Structure 1
């Protein structure tokens, strides 16, 4: 998949901070501009996480709704009724971090399955937030193949919580959720007949017999006002089972909740 154009708006600030336990935090920035073509492409990319455009007419058929009404009332979390806004915020953060992992770090990140199989639009999907896969070479399996398991938290409005700490705390549970998440992903791919992708996931289900590198990550997507008041240096990953291979990421940006709502609105109206 070619990188969508909004990826060019995600840039490394070069700033690095240290946690209380000595882990490095990378600080990146999302800097959107008023480019209608890029925003439309981003909205379409966003919509495709919830349903393929090719499937949308059949999904809408029989509901008596327009495409926009169907997306806004059946698939997308509600814009106003709780917990819809916080789910929109969380989904946005997860998708943005998945974009980062796939298009900037170069992992295969089959994330649409997480949203397309969500039967309740007002409930989050369980399991590890984001999973990425990278193969060391094209000659077969290698012990240097990488499984990247990432937890993402959003802080797009005022909060007293350190959202990076929240992501780290959740990441500590991923060793318990990893096997179930990979199995759920594999099941969904089997239903879709994606044989090659099933085998790609399967490669990471038995570390004892088929060794690989496991990398864990924790990310916080923060509005710049939240970023300014968050004491990132107080983040503590002590006790993380994969502390030696833990990556910490913050992506900050201006007026992000306003951007989120605009993306959902455009994704519905331009379907």
Structure 2
């Protein structure tokens, strides 16, 4: 599994702090550059979550729009009209966290059910943000198989630091209720696409009492460096979470992330 080139820009700083309840918080940094080839590939990777090139070619006729106009007007969240910018930053954070658990941690992380079927572009998709799967043996059942359910929150604009990690922890605590619906929706999308094998891989995690597995929860905050405040992170409360024994906390910071987000959406549209 070859990682996209932009994942080289996602760097573990080695810095660690702890929540108010003693759970380790990993600090990563998105050290993105100005490499046009990498940014173009990243933009395509980003665009494919909403509408891959084959589907775009089918959806475009009859609209009277160019490919870029169609993406910006119909598929992508709005760049300026609220809540479009916050949906953009939230989607960006989710996709980056999905890249992290797939390419940095080695989980299978299907994404297509979350973005390509949005009917309202300026709304977040309901359900668990990011779901990853890991199998001890492909095609079999093992109680050490892992389901990794991650919640992400973004803070990329504003003047005052905010503890979005706490918000991610709070929402992660609701994932036990949303998990069954998220897995069912993902499984259904695979069957709709005629993809039986991945549908059955999802099915493996739908009945924990009869087919045990390890459930790992995750909470991530993706924040611009100007809004990063370690003292706030150390106040993050996790004691009320249902899965504190298997809870992973991560913060990804980066310079002027909202500018990067808008630039990626524009490139994704312009290069379609």
TM-score between the two structures when normalised by the length of structure 2:
0.97
Change (3 A) 1:246 1:51: same
Map of 1:242 onto structure 2: 243
User: In structure 2, how many angstroms separate the alpha carbons of the residues matched to 1:114 and 1:230?
Assistant: 33
User: In structure 2, how many angstroms separate the alpha carbons of the residues matched to 1:51 and 1:139?
Assistant: 30
Map of 2:8 onto structure 1: 8
User: In structure 2, how many angstroms separate the alpha carbons of the residues matched to 1:150 and 1:264?
Assistant: 23
* Residue pair 2:161, 2:228 contacting (<8 A) in 1 also: no
* Residue pair 1:43, 1:267 contacting (<8 A) in 2 also: yes
Map of 1:95 onto structure 2: 95
Map of 2:70 onto structure 1: 70
Alignment of 1:117-156 (within 5 A): 117-138=117-138, 140-156=140-156
Map of 2:210 onto structure 1: 209
1:49 aligns with 2:53: no
User: In structure 2, how many angstroms separate the alpha carbons of the residues matched to 1:103 and 1:19?
Assistant: 26
In the TM superposition, what whole-angstrom CA distance separates every residue of 1:13-63 from its partner, at most 9, and x where no partner exists?
Answer: 000001111111000010001100000000000000001111111111100
Unpaired segments of 5 or more residues in structure 1? none
* Residue pair 1:222, 1:251 contacting (<8 A) in 2 also: yes
User: In structure 2, how many angstroms separate the alpha carbons of the residues matched to 1:83 and 1:138?
Assistant: 41
Report which stretch shifted further, 188-197 or 151-160: 151-160
User: In structure 1, how many angstroms separate the alpha carbons of the residues matched to 2:142 and 2:230?
Assistant: 43
Q: What is the CA distance between 1:189 and its match in structure 2?
A: 1.1
User: In structure 2, how many angstroms separate the alpha carbons of the residues matched to 1:229 and 1:90?
Assistant: 21
Q: Secondary structure at the match of 2:241?
A: coil
In the TM superposition, what whole-angstrom CA distance separates every residue of 1:98-150 from its partner, at most 9, and x where no partner exists?
Answer: 00000000000001220001111011100000000000134621100000000
* Residue pair 1:162, 1:230 contacting (<8 A) in 2 also: no
User: In structure 1, how many angstroms separate the alpha carbons of the residues matched to 2:3 and 2:232?
Assistant: 33
Map of 1:17 onto structure 2: 17
User: In structure 2, how many angstroms separate the alpha carbons of the residues matched to 1:155 and 1:138?
Assistant: 38
RMSD, aligned CA: 1.1
Q: Which runs of 4+ in 1 moved over 6 A?
A: none
Map of 2:264 onto structure 1: 263
Q: Secondary structure at the match of 2:144?
A: coil
User: In structure 1, how many angstroms separate the alpha carbons of the residues matched to 2:212 and 2:5?
Assistant: 36
Map of 2:169 onto structure 1: 168
Q: What is the CA distance between 1:239 and its match in structure 2?
A: 1.3
Q: Secondary structure at the match of 2:215?
A: strand
Map of 1:199 onto structure 2: 200
Map of 1:225 onto structure 2: 226
* Residue pair 1:98, 1:109 contacting (<8 A) in 2 also: yes
1:178 aligns with 2:167: no
1:252 aligns with 2:253: yes
User: In structure 1, how many angstroms separate the alpha carbons of the residues matched to 2:191 and 2:49?
Assistant: 18
